[in-house]
A and B are shown apart, each in its own frame.
Chain A
């Protein structure tokens, strides 16, 4: 790519995004260290009180989900800034609210000993049996409210900017091309289509999340105010599912924008691409009942819908995003570097992780796999290797110097990539094996017969932590060196 093109692609708020990715990278590393400690404790290698384990598990879950959202938001903001005018003030507001929320959550877990999980499943926050005070649960949920309001601000800025330029979210989704008479050359760029879809479904998700958070907060203050537990669970899992999906659908924009820089082939907004993103918009909203397959009081049609849409969600991922990436890579003869390797690995991880997820989304399988370690097994594949891989691929690209661009992969790059990929694969495989052996998820204390997988997982996790910590340090030092992007 020429210097002129590089200049054209400068994002006005690149500094803010770089800061976002630094925060994300550091928090990812810290949360991974907590993960290692928890797996070591489950494997009998560390002696930890159950209370502390559940606090760490809550911190790990909320921290990872929040950081996945933050890093995805950073990526989307950076590349969307190439196509529309985005407000720096709104982004600063989003970041500030996010960080205030993080402080509330950390105070809640480490000072208030809140251990009710990132899912705050009603009515657990208000009924801890003495493990934490109501104020700690309130602080945790208020932290979520701050983060949620921050994200709503973020999507408001994105939505307004997209509508200003494209004249509506429908046009930004490319519907005038597939449902109207417009030619495919008039379709918005892939980044805009993805951003429009994510803005719609994650705004919906966060609004539903805010409603159930407020209801749970009122329940804390006025215990007589009772919420229907099934309704609350539906709302929580709708919010949680949509939010975590949004993180990876925002992060994949890095693949759409950066892979073309390597292959020299522009990622096109074809009709298949537009239809795929319209399907994603529908599927992300409608698939959440697959989290409630063991709630037999749920209407059967919703559970059937959860299973079928779980499966269908794999179609746009595999037949459009992954397939197109493979086509673009073919014969492009570029020189691999850490950034491109991580981005391609991330799409592979996302696709591979979809397999155990889809299988678990079948009612008949879910009967014996639900809430076993199979579940963290599949979501760690597409979140760790997928979302985190995309984030670190983007970070590696952000700080890539011109000399590195010529040299491709250095020995250290190869070591970091191998350590991340092998560690991630081994770590997640141990979860899947444990799930198949009926090991329940979220148990502070494990049976001795489960120790082998726990200990192997600890070793694999250390490989991942080594890679991620080193990449964060290299990114931080690279930021001061490189100001080209």
Chain B
């Protein structure tokens, strides 16, 4: 469907495999999150002592969020993708900053918005680059047309940057843990099915464009691996529940980016499967965290423990979700890692080792999360129980287990999603194989290593703390903050330069404009472009008049007395009127005389009302003399630019104009004077507007002169 045909934009949607996966996630998990949110938001608003009406600042954005996600999942046009991409960012801004009285929530919201939106602009640039080279924004057509070239590499890299920032990959990951300031339903949704998933979705959608560039694919591999390690290690020792899950998300999306970076058909299918398995597990875990926080009023692991006996349903349900994330058997998560291991094994030894380490890290941090929360000595008071908040978790756990037993529907969805990504049929065939396959060996190795990490908290503490400290010292967040402060300062500086002082802002317009004009003239060929013109008839009278005008103008510029300026101005005006009369423009001459008379009177009258003392500018201090010299230079540059411009365009008169038509048609407009006919008839609307302007000015003058009674 055409949208803006002049820009070659189309509203094209198609529900293909990839669209189906993300659309299902956005709506399915969305529905659960919405159900969960009805209870959560009521409690949340009660805790914050805000009116229940405030929830209307929440639900519309959530709804828009879900719609934007579905739109993004099905969009087939790069610009459309960009629009929905930004729409999710805007929604997330309002949702993260929902607790607007909390300054932390506000800064987090701004951070999320800036990081994702600024990098999304990279995607737009990439799209425009591709359009310039291949003439279409439609993704399917682009995939067919694009070949490997430098433009492709740059465009692909730009699109990838936008997607990676959205998926919170290192080094643009820092916004995600901060975004935990949002209410829990938002976090659950944002991490599993929306916002963060959008980045991976885009990578999956344009994967065959990215594939054209070896460099971009390698970049995906490296960034994915980095994110897995950084996110995983940092998640090991976080204290706040949602922080653990946030870093886990960075790490988990690292898996998917890594899988896309491998680029084989196995890995593409695996990535699609991974998205689903992760979304189910992660949203359940987030809702667990929210339910626990709501029940106890605590959000730190160190202050919670032994909740298993008091909240048994939640404990079991979240155990299933955690097991799924850690890829234990009988859950859907087992297969996500099986597929991941298979793809990594196919790729080489480095990725194999990395995959094992990644899975071990996941097991370690999620194990710690669940064990600390539900086992051990009892800590924290359970004051609030809500079925509505536990039921969605239980439902997701049930889905996880069903997925672990009956993989068929998930596998088929993943296969169709992978097919869209890879552009060829993809086989996704998860299943339990009780043999010594490399995947199983890797899984066992990962569990062992993860168990060891879980059993050695001191080692993980040191590791995680060191990395966190290094991140604080040299991390990209510092760069972001420095950039923000720098921008702030630059803006204040420009503001100071531009606005505080009118003179410098005028000079800032005049001088660069003059220099640009000069440059343009220097750059264009000027052979025969300038004509001197010839002098004939009345011109001999006009020439001395113009000379007079020039001299008097210079006098005005130099004059010290205001009265002299006023008088000299009217000399210039009347001389010009005489010029107009000689040129054969009696109407203009008459009006000019009228206007000049009025102006002279008004000017002198105004002078009479001004204070007598003349400002003694240009005399005295060195600074003033220097300023004056600067003013002269600026004025000369402006004058020179005007000279070159006017001379240039007067030398090349138009071949024809509407004037002849005007002259021919004037009798029909019942006008003997053609100029009058033009003003009153042919350009009547102009004149009407002009009269309006005049009226407005008169009202302004009258108000100002009435001793400012309206002020």
Physical interaction between A and B: no
Binding site for A on B (CB under 8 A): none
Binding site for B on A (CB under 8 A): none
